[in-house]
Structure 1
Amino acid sequence: MSVEPQRLLPLLTSHPGGRSSVTCEYRCGNACAHPEPNTSDNEYFGDVAKNVLSRRGALKASAVMAAAAGGFAALSGTAAAAPVHAEGRGKPGKPAQSVPGTDFDPVPPNTTDAVVIPEGYDQRVVIRWGDPVLPGAPEFDFRNQTAAAQEKQFGYNNDFVGLIPQDPLGISNLLVVNHEYTTEVHMFPVDQYDPQNPTEEQVKIAWAAHGLSVVQAFRDPVHGGLRVVPSYFNRRITLNTEFEVRGPAAGSPYLKTSADPTGKVVRGTQNNCAGSVTPWGTVLSGEENVNQYFANAGAVTDPVQAARLKRYGFSGAASTRKWERFDKRWDVTKEPNEPNRFGWVVEIDPHDPHSKPIKHTHLGRFKHEGAAVKIAEDGRVVAYSGDDERFEYIYKYVSNGKFKKGNSAHARRHNSSLLDDGTLYVGRFTGDSPVGEIDGTGKLPADGEFDGTGEWIPLAAGNKSFVDGFTAEEVYVFTRQAADKVMPTKMDRPEDIEPNPVNGRIYCALTNNSDRGAAGKGGPDEVNPRNGNRNGHVLEFEEVGGATATRFNWRLLLVCGDPKTADTYFGGFDKAQVSPISCPDNVAFDPHGNLWISTDGNALGSNDGLFSVPVTGPERGKVQQFLSVPAGGEACGPVVTSDVVLVAVQHPGEDAPNSGSPTSHWPDGGDSQPRPSIVSVWRKGPRGRPGKIGTR
């Protein structure tokens, strides 16, 4: 589809990035309009370096400065690979040749109400909100919804997408999708829904629209794309589904409620954001902005409980959705431990529709964007996770037991149990440049890169706590407070973190932080180098000594924004040859090891999209936009194989105040209401058959 390129202008909005007020309210409880929960006196490295002589003595100052002067050991794809340097790549005036998997004509920035894809590609919607998933599900009827129907239909606001092949060619697949949140003012006709007085049936519809969907999907090798079919594997997981609590905090007094005196069974999962497919074929999903669903945190008088709630962003009186009117578990004054039962990494086994989903407590409780697993050289399981809020932390988990190969049910159970016995760490990042060179403008330091070293600080292992004043149970249930005590690095909204299966490095999207450098807030450091960071950046790091190591080297691959501005950086690549990119959110990799990034809240005035980035060789840092999503929407959950690209289009048209004045009619067109959906994209090859993604 051809579109008119859009001139990039700052978006006039009170919200960081380009998100609408409706999205901010219903997805995260308008978190960015409230003070960030991390008010700890945990200092930044730059502050430590400035004040260490007077505050900690010359001996500790020497230790800190020696660590900083140690510099950055060059990242490499393998032990024998040459260091990657910025020089000589993408020379001005000479277009670079595209690497395999990224050879396409980039889509220009635009505000079109459609999924815009490159010339020579085609697309098809795979499944939409309300489409049938289970037998007996009725066809979607916007004006006549019921909770019973939604329990059997595809849920709302799809986010993470996992594609699990069931055969060597990837013809038959299991498709697993998160349903992050509900936007009731868009889900119901404006004449039927009163935000101040929702009906019990409308609330129950919302409960059923949360969670996950599992469907079987076939890739069409002749015509392209994916299509969903009725199947034994199809499943809906909602806020009514029972979850097993596992790991060292299972049965903790902090998890017990009147409905579950054991503290080992939780009903439902919510605000499921990103995720990953594990090496053993299950799906990990992160529970993120769970605080917004609970009411009356402001009425809690116990100072210890009040402090714990505040650190996780629980506040106020009535909730936006008013669920507490129909189930007391959403009222923290009536069920004070119910909030502690959300904010975990959950695991789903899509191969067994009768299996009970799991909440893994050993991975800690915070606003998990997701969790992604890498198998270490010695067979242990390593999981990475980001806490998606301003000034929060990056975490890592290392198992004690070892991975067992195979896709049998027994192997899946064994490998899943590895997430319940290990060590939980939090990350500290140290820059290798003098503090004065990191001035908050985004100007590169003298060595030409934002880079440095880091360490993983242990928090707890099994029933042993490494944090003074915290039991192991408290570390897992109140992970944020425990992490505050050991001085990790406060980051700019660490979101999706994924290991690259080709070069072994780890990549993290840091979406934005407009409060960086504001009065009374944390200032810039080398890993978060810009004040008022509206466009975000992408972090790359590599463990020193293998995946289970406690030291790592890091550098920023991208400092996002308009390439015409001085505060952006594209891995050293010529900025005249790249696409603008803003607010990176989810990351994925194609079979060649290229990084693909989806965005959330484009602060440059155009629609969100999906972008490819080579991470090695002369084209390292060459960002190209592969597609854009419709008006008001967000690009989520990318999957990139040799044959197909999948993107979850979340909240299309959510820049409108309600369903009475839709700004998008995607995907059905005409005057229809917008519907969050999964779309598949493929290259049109010779004789009409699908070709390989990113090739000519």
Structure 2
Amino acid sequence: MANLSPRRPLPLLTTPHKGGRSALTCQFRCGNQCAHDVQNTSENVYFGDVVAEAVSRRGLLRAGALGALAIGAGVSAAAPAFAASGPGAEAAAQADAETLGFGHGGRGGLGFTAVRPNTDDKVTVPEGYETAPVVRWGDPVLPGAPAFDFENQTAAAQAAQFGYNNDFVAFFPLGAQRGLLWVNHEYTDENLMFRGYTNGDAATEEQIRIALAAHGGSVVEVERVGRTGQWKLVTRGRRRYNRRVTAQTPMRFTGPAAGGDLLKTSADPAGTTPVGTLNNCAGGTTPWGTVLSGEENFNQYFVNGNGVPEAQKPFLSRYGVSPTTGVPSGNRRFDRVEERFDLARHPNEVNRFGWIVEIDPFDPDSTPVKRTALGRLAHEGATTTLARDGRVVAYMGDDSRFEYVYKFVSKKRYIPGFDRHNRTLLDEGTLYVAKFTGDSPAAEIDGSGRLPADGRFDGSGQWIPLVTGDVSHVPGMTAQEVLVYTRVAADKVGATKMDRPEDVERNPVTGGVYVALTNNTNRTPAQVDEANPRPSNKHGHILEITELRDDAGATTFAWSLPLVCGDPNDPSTYFGGFDKTKVSPISCPDNVAFDAEGNLWISTDGNQLGANDGLFAMPVRGPERGHLKQFLSVPVGAETCGPFVSPDQRSVFTAIQHPGETNGATPEAPTSHWPDGGASQPRPAVVVTWHRQGRKVGS
């Protein structure tokens, strides 16, 4: 492998920002959320304040269905590092091995040479692999859509083309040689999309309409290239499945909050027909073949927050909506073309975002559905599985500092092939929030990152019910209020404050549930606890949940931290007990996924170790458990999203969004030319990576 490239000089930062993200990313992705006060001001205890009681993690593991501990991380075989430390580390690792056993996948390790961290303006993959774009911003999606023309964009063209930025990726096979991709379009960066852009006040109305059309998601048909693991966009024929969903697509509400007063507006007095979806981050799929897309940082799109009724203002603040009169700094000014984004005129419009949206990729004429039973928050996504008795379970994270982890369990059971019945399952059930308890003495969780005496950060937990159908479990709140103001309800029941819970996924082989906790630089030494063991946590960590009897419908669980991210040389990091001289550095885990063998794949966002973000993989069991390797790195200024490993494990799809989103970058002075090279403008794109000899990816 080539030596680590020197970091390229970039334009000066205009204003300081926390973390590894640029000022542009902070402005356009989340409305400078980190620069604002923490939204969760509840007095919920940090769970380090609670010493474990009757049930230890190890006892639950032995009582239940022995899910595997897994981590996500990246590896750089180049960097020497400290070995796992702590008086009980070796014994704990051996106990895990004895308890979990070594069946199924992951025993042989991952057979690729780790990619070194770098700052190159390209996608770097291991030796023997190739990578290529599948679909890029502006590529035609609908038949008849024009070719992309950066200099002559229109809203009509964008509504028929692939949207800007791309996060969650789902793949639906159409036989062996064809398939459908669903891709979220999380947000727009007008500063990189348009020449001479300064702010929403000065933008043309056409530019604002282009941005509205660039949000949402796309369904595109793809085909395999020969017998390889490469896939490409289908550009000929009818392409009958292709579809664009935007911020202006008609939708409908279902579930207990649908039709409630908090969702009614002058344009929709029935409170049942919202318009559009915004800031779609991660997602999931259902057993009946639909997509679940999470609306995340929706708060940033609204103006005149001070114009809402007084009783509503505390709830707006809890969701990060600016309480001031006028326009928050950096606002896109969607209200200039659609007045629904002016809260002084339409105070309930903001309540119509922050949901899980269900889309049918096989029916381009279907109406997307916002499922209110899954609660309203800054949804990273929703991952479904089945409980032992056949009920549908959805796991969700609320991506903000000190927010919570949730799950929904349906009332009725999934019936294979009974589509009309299954499409109702996400409308009735119980919504829960997680509370975690550590099992080590408080004195052993001192903020240094040192493992406690038992050799691991771990404990037990419970799922606290918030609402079941029309019945609230939260004193003083109705069921509708719990679902529309879910954060407030979780505050009231004492849920555990976490370090930005993002993607939550269940391992299909082991049954373990993994939560990506990206970072939280606002956590103070007094706020550390066993599940969030470091103050000013800028690198994040992975949390694993093992539910009682391996039943996704259970209300109690064990948990552990198999990965504490950062430079392996930093003694506060932990890589599952594996030799840290042989792992890659990793920072800011964002999305997680699994291949058919149960290996964990992790994408990162906001790397604070001086290199580009990347995609990482590791086995979850056996002697290689914790041996984390970096599989690819993304271009300058980009974030790694997705990922998705194909069912035959011959292809990995990775969404690469906001390439070139660095401080001071503009179309006149771009800092990336990926993926087209030369003097081209950077374009977010989904890429596929495959082995040249047709081997399984990672094998």
Partner of 2:557: 552
CA pair 225-78 structure 1, distance change in 2 beyond 3 A: farther
List aligned pairs for 1:650-661, cutoff 5 A.
650-657=657-664, 658-661=666-669
Give deviations 1:498-551, integer Å, cap 9, x for gaps.
Answer: 111110110010000001116xxx600101110000000001111113111110
Q: Is the 8 A contact 1:560 1:580 kept in 2?
A: yes
Report what 2:320 is aligned to. 313
In structure 2, the partner of 1:188 is 194
Residues 1:659 and 1:78: Cα distance change in structure 2 (over 3 Å)? farther
Which piece of structure 1 moves more, 308-317 or 470-479? 308-317
- Cα displacement (A) at 1:631: 0.2
Displacement of 1:77? 12
Matched residues in 2 for 1:152 and 1:101: separation? 43
- The one of 221, 224, 245 equivalent to 1:237 is 245
Could you tell me which residue of structure 2 aligns to residue 448 of structure 1?
A: 455
**Residues 510-525 of structure 1: pairs in structure 2 closer than 5 A:** 510-517=517-524, 523-525=527-529
**Distance in 2, Cα, partners of 1:529 & 1:229:** 48
Deviations 1:125-152 (A, max 9, x none): 1000000000111010111000000010
Counterpart amino acid of 1:293? Y
Deviation at 1:324, TM superposition (A): 1.4
Cα offset for 1:692? 1.6
TM-superposed CA distance for 1:78, in Å, is 7.6
Q: How does 1:115-514 map to 2 (within 5 A)?
A: 115-167=123-175, 169=176, 171-190=177-196, 195-230=200-235, 231-300=239-308, 302-315=309-322, 316=324, 317-319=326-328, 320-406=331-417, 411-514=418-521
1:193 Cα offset (Å): 5.9
Instruction: Write the distance in 2 (CA, Å) between the matches of 1:348 and 1:238.
Output: 12
What corresponds to 1:616 in structure 2? Answer: 621
Is residue 665 from structure 1 mapped to residue 669 from structure 2 by the alignment? no
Which residue identity lines up with residue 26 of structure 2 in the other structure? Answer: C
CA distance in 2, matches of 1:361, 1:98: 38
The offset of 1:576, in angstroms, is 0.6
Rounded Cα–Cα distance in structure 2 between residues aligned with 1:438 and 1:26: 37
Write the letter of the residue equivalent to 1:253: D
Report what 2:87 is aligned to.
none
Aligned residue for 2:424, secondary structure, equals: helix
Kindly state the Cα deviation for residue 468 of structure 1 after the two structures are TM-superposed.
0.3
Give the corresponding residue for 2:59: 73
In structure 1, C-alpha distance between the alignment counterparts of 2:598 and 2:674, rounded to whole Å: 32
Q: CA distance change for structure 1 residues 351 and 618 in 2, over 3 Å: closer, same or farther? A: same
Over 3 Å counting, the alpha-carbon distance change for 1:42 and 1:390 in structure 2 is same
Residue deviations 1:320-374, cap 9 Å, x none? 1111122111011110000000000011110111111100000000000000001
Distance 1:544 1:180, change over 3 A: same
* Identical positions, percent: 58
List alignment gaps of at least 5 residues for structure 1.
50-64, 91-96
The one-letter amino acid of 1:187's match is M
Cα deviations across residues 36-84 of structure 1 (Å, max 9, x unaligned)?
11001112233356xxxxxxxxxxxxxxx634x7454364798378999
| One of 534, 537, 543 as aligned partner of 1:539 | 543
Q: 1:608-655 CA deviation, whole Å, 9 max, x = no partner? A: 000002111111111100000000000001011311011000100000
Residues 1:130 and 1:100: Cα distance change in structure 2 (over 3 Å): farther
Contact 2:165/2:658, CA 8 A, preserved across alignment:
yes
Alpha-carbon distance between aligned partners in 2 of 1:104 and 1:82, rounded to the nearest angstrom: 23
1:635–1:649 CA contact under 8 A, matched in 2: yes
Q: Counterpart in 2 of 1:603?
A: 608
The answer to which of 542-551 and 72-81 deviates more is: 72-81
Q: Could you tell me the TM-score, scaled by structure 1's length?
A: 0.91
Q: CA RMSD in A?
A: 2.2
Q: Which runs of 5+ in 2 are unaligned?
A: 71-91, 98-104
Q: Distance in 1 between matches of 2:6 and 2:290?
A: 41
The secondary structure found in structure 2 opposite 1:400 is: strand
Per-residue deviation, 1:99: 4.7
Q: Contact between 2:307 and 2:347, CA under 8 Å: does it hold in 1?
A: no
Deviation of 1:223 (Å): 4.4
Write the letter of the residue equivalent to 2:303.
A
CA distance in 2, matches of 1:536, 1:6: 25
Pair 1:77–1:227, CA change in 2 (3 A) = farther
My pick for the range that moved more, 633-642 or 101-110, is 101-110
Q: Which amino acid aligns with 1:318?
A: V
The separation in 2 between residues aligned to 1:389 and 1:135, in whole angstroms, is 39
How far apart are the structure 2 equivalents of 1:77 and 1:684?
A: 45
Is the contact between residue 512 and residue 533 of structure 1 (CA under 8 Å) also seen in structure 2?
A: yes
Counterpart in the other structure of 1:692: 696
**Residue aligning to 2:533:** 529
1:104 aligned residue (112, 122, 129) = 112
TM-score by length of structure 2 reads: 0.90
Deviations 1:563-602 (A, max 9, x none): 0110100011111110000000000001110000000000
In structure 1, how many angstroms separate the alpha carbons of the residues matched to 2:62 and 2:234?
Answer: 43
Q: Secondary structure at the match of 1:143?
A: helix
Following superposition, the deviation at residue 88 of structure 1 comes to 9.5
User: Partner of 2:89 in structure 1?
Assistant: none
